[in-house]
Amino acid sequence: MSDFVEAVRARAAALARRIAFPETADPRTIDAIEELRTTRIVEPVAILDPASPTTHARVRALGIETIDPATDPRRSALAATLLELRARKGLTAAGAEELSHDPLYFADYLVRVGSVAGCVAGAVHTTANVLRAALWLVGAAAGVRTVSSSFYMVVSPFRDGGRREVLTFTDCAVVPYPDASQLADIAIAAAMDRSRIVGDTPVVAMLSFSTYGSAEGPSIALVRSALDEVRRRAPGLAVDGELQGDAALIPVVAARKAIGSPVAGRANVLVYPSLDAGNIAYKLVERLGGATAIGPIVQGLRRPCSDLSRGASTNDIITVAAITALQAGDAAPPASHA
């Protein structure tokens, strides 16, 4: 386990956040809940799956809080909330009643009303299902219109100091071709979450195949427009662009390509112009560079609802639960309307 992961878990434990787990029919999730109960990294709240009653006894035997959506009296409030939020989009009363039995929607309702600090799912559900439930019931954070994601990449030393670093790569999993405003949302959300999760000061590079006008093209214009919007909306954020990857990361290259940049050579948040670029980059750095990739971590929600990879291990679920607790550190309560 990396020093970063150990630090994340220790900081999460100090917060003692209640985190909901709606995939309790999954053995990996049950094992993670058991480990979390023992280590107290978070306080797990298990949402039983009405479709898998044979797993209920094992989950209840863990000695933690368990909730059965089929019998919990809050189910009617969840159905009413769903109908209020989604009737204009075609959701019927029967549909809302059906969803009120769904562990994922029930868990996100608990996030919405503040009964738990966050939710961890995705070991069984698809990303589309996890995000849909979160957007319906929790919604985007104030000032953010685009929910996105980041990977936290624990990389080998590459700058002076000879220590491993954690870089934020965004967006690598959710928004395929962001427009300028969406790219600005992604950058701002990644910076906010980095402060909570890593605990340092975000230094944001808007990446391109150009540095300071060394080339021209539509994607470069997009990055410049996004940079202008980030600076307007987050004037205190250290952000610069457009920067090539080497100029963003390597001081000696920055000194040649981006003289006077407040970011070049020291960036720790890398904002990619498209999902193509971000996804390819994180996989190459992970597989060829030997980095540890932690994520995707959903960002930009009012309160955290995390999406696991369906290939997640028990250890991955534990780490994402810790990150979810840190994301919830100062999250504002959801609005009454989505």
pLDDT per residue, tens digit, the chain (338 aa), is: 578 999 999 999 999 999 999 999 999 999 999 999 999 999 999 999 998 999 999 999 999 999 999 999 999 999 999 999 999 999 999 999 999 999 999 999 999 999 999 999 999 999 999 999 999 999 998 888 899 999 999 998 888 767 889 999 999 999 999 999 999 999 999 999 999 999 999 999 999 999 998 999 999 999 999 999 999 999 999 999 899 999 999 999 999 999 999 999 999 999 999 999 999 999 999 999 999 999 889 999 999 999 998 888 999 999 999 999 999 975 444 444 33
Q: Does residue 172 sit in the same domain as residue 272?
A: yes
CATH number at residue 314: 3.40.50.10950
Question: What pLDDT is attached to residue 1?
Answer: 54
Distance CA 97, CA 273 (A): 41
CA dist list (Å): 2 to 8, 53, 165, 194, 298: 10, 37, 11, 17, 21
Query: Angle formed by the axes of helices 103-113 and 75-86, to 10°?
Result: 90
Q: Does residue 246 sit in the same domain as residue 213?
A: yes
Distance CA 331, CA 28 (A): 28
Distance CA 291, CA 316 (A): 15
Q: Does residue 33 sit in the same domain as residue 119?
A: yes
In sequence order, what are the residues at sequence separation of 6 or more whose Cβ sits closer than 8 angstroms to the Cβ of residue 228?
none
Residues 135, 36 contacting (CB under 8 angstroms): no
Question: What pLDDT is attached to residue 336?
Answer: 40
Q: Does residue 279 sit in the same domain as residue 316?
A: no
Q: Is residue 335 part of a domain?
A: no
Distance CA 174, CA 161 (A): 34
Q: Does residue 49 sit in the same domain as residue 105?
A: yes
Q: Does residue 177 sit in the same domain as residue 288?
A: yes
Q: Is residue 45 part of a domain?
A: yes
Q: Is residue 337 part of a domain?
A: no
CATH number at residue 171: 3.40.50.10750
Q: Does residue 272 sit in the same domain as residue 198?
A: yes
Question: What pLDDT is attached to residue 334?
Answer: 44
Q: Is residue 288 part of a domain?
A: yes
Q: Does residue 169 sit in the same domain as residue 241?
A: yes
Number of domains in the chain: 2
CA dist list (Å): 211 to 173, 219, 257: 25, 12, 7
Cα dihedral across residues 211, 212, 215, 218: positive or negative: positive
Question: What pLDDT is attached to residue 142?
Answer: 85
Residues 138, 298 contacting (CB under 8 angstroms): no
Whole domain around residue 266: which residue ranges?
A: 148-293
Q: Does residue 38 sit in the same domain as residue 134?
A: yes
Q: Does residue 113 sit in the same domain as residue 154?
A: no
Q: Does residue 135 sit in the same domain as residue 173?
A: no
- CA neighbor of 308 nearest in space, from 131, 177, 186, 138: 131
Q: Is residue 155 part of a domain?
A: yes
Q: Does residue 116 sit in the same domain as residue 173?
A: no
List phi, psi (to 5°) of 56: -65, -40
